[in-house]
Amino acid sequence: MAAVAVAPAASWLFRLRAAGAEGHWRRLCGAGLARGFLHPAATGEDAAQRRQVAHFTFQPDPEPREYGQTQKMNLFQSITSALDNSLAKDPTAVIFGEDVAFGGVFRCTVGLRDKYGKDRVFNTPLCEQGIVGFGIGIAVTGATAIAEIQFADYIFPAFDQIVNEAAKYRYRSGDLFNCGSLTIRSPWGCVGHGALYHSQSPEAFFAHCPGIKVVIPRSPFQAKGLLLSCIEDKNPCIFFEPKILYRAAVEQVPVEPYNIPLSQAEVIQEGSDVTLVAWGTQVHVIREVASMAKEKLGVSCEIIDLRTIIPWDVDTVCKSVIKTGRLLISHEAPLTGGFASEISSTIQEECFLNLEAPISRVCGYDTPFPHIFEPFYIPDKWKCYDALRKMINY
Partner 1 sequence: MAVAIGAVRVWRQSRILGQAALLLLRRPGAQGLTISHPHRQQEQQFSSLDDKPQFPGASAEFIDKLEFIQPNVISGIPIYRVMDRQGQIINPSEDPHLPKEKVLKFYKSMTLLNTMDRILYESQRQGRISFYMTNYGEEGTHVGSAAALDNTDLVFGQYREAAVGAAYAAKRANANRVVICYFGEGAASEGDAHAGFNFAATLECPIIFFCRNNGYAISTPTSEQYRGDGIAARGPGYGILSIRVDGNDVFAVYNATKEARRRAVAENQPFLIEAMTYRIGHHSTSDDSSAYRSVDEVNYWDKQDHPISRLRHYLLSRGWWDEEQEKAWRKQSRKKVMEAFEQAERKPKPNPNLLFSDVYQEMPSQLRKQQESLARHLQTYGEHYPLEHFDK
* Residues in contact with 349: Cβ distance below 8 Å, sequence separation at least 6, in sequence order: none
- Decide if residue 114 touches partner 1 (CB under 8 A): yes
**Beta strand pairing status for 301-305 and 266-269?**
antiparallel
CA dist 169 and 391 (Å) reads 44
Only one of the segments 62-70, 137-145, 244-252, 333-341 lies at the binding site for partner 1 (rule: CB under 8 A); that segment is 137-145
d(C-alpha 243, C-alpha 148), whole Å: 13
The yes or no reply on residue 137 touching partner 1 (CB under 8 A) is: yes
Question: CA–CA separation, 335 vs 85, rounded Å?
Answer: 38
> Contact region for partner 1 (CB under 8 A) — 78-86, 131-139, 183-191, 216-224?
131-139
Buried b (16+ CB within 10 A) or exposed e, 199-237: bbbbbbbbbebebbbbbbbbbbbbbbbbbbbbbbbebbb
Quote the least distance from Cβ 93 to partner 1, whole Å: 10
Site string for partner 1, 166-205 (x = CB under 8 A): ----xx--xx--xxx-------------------------
Nearest by Cα to 97 from 60, 151, 143: 151
Angstrom distances, CA of residue 129 to CA of 120, 122, 183, 301: 20, 17, 14, 42
Q: Which is nearer to partner 1, 239 or 312 (CB)?
A: 312
- Of the candidate spans 30-38, 113-121, 191-199, 284-292, the one that interacts with partner 1 by CB under 8 A turns out to be 113-121
Of 26, 89, 208, 234, the residue at the interface with partner 1 (CB under 8 A) is 234
Give the nearer residue to partner 1 in terms of CB position, either 232 or 241: 232
The correct pick among 102, 156, 159, 365 for binding partner 1 (CB under 8 A) is 102
Rounded least distance, CB 235 to partner 1, Å = 5
Is residue 347 a contact residue for partner 1 (CB under 8 A)?
Answer: no
Of 78, 86, 124, 324, the one binding partner 1 by CB under 8 A:
124
Dist CA 199 CA 370 (whole Å): 9
Residue 47: CB minimum distance to partner 1, A? 32
One character per residue 15-54, x = contact with partner 1 (rule: CB under 8 A):
-x--xxx---------------------------------
3-state secondary structure of 301: strand
* Euclidean distance between CA atoms 131 and 175, whole angstroms: 24
Contacts of 46 (CB under 8 A, 6+ apart): none
- CB atoms near residue 314 (< 10 Å): 16
Stretch of residues binding partner 1 (CB under 8 A), selected from 77-85, 121-129, 267-275, 284-292: 121-129
Least distance CB 164 / partner 1 (angstroms): 10
Give me the residues that bind partner 1 (CB under 8 A), please.
16, 19-21, 92, 94, 101-102, 113-114, 118-119, 122, 124-125, 127, 129-130, 132-143, 145, 157, 161, 165, 170-171, 174-175, 178-180, 210-211, 213, 234-235, 263, 311-312, 314-315
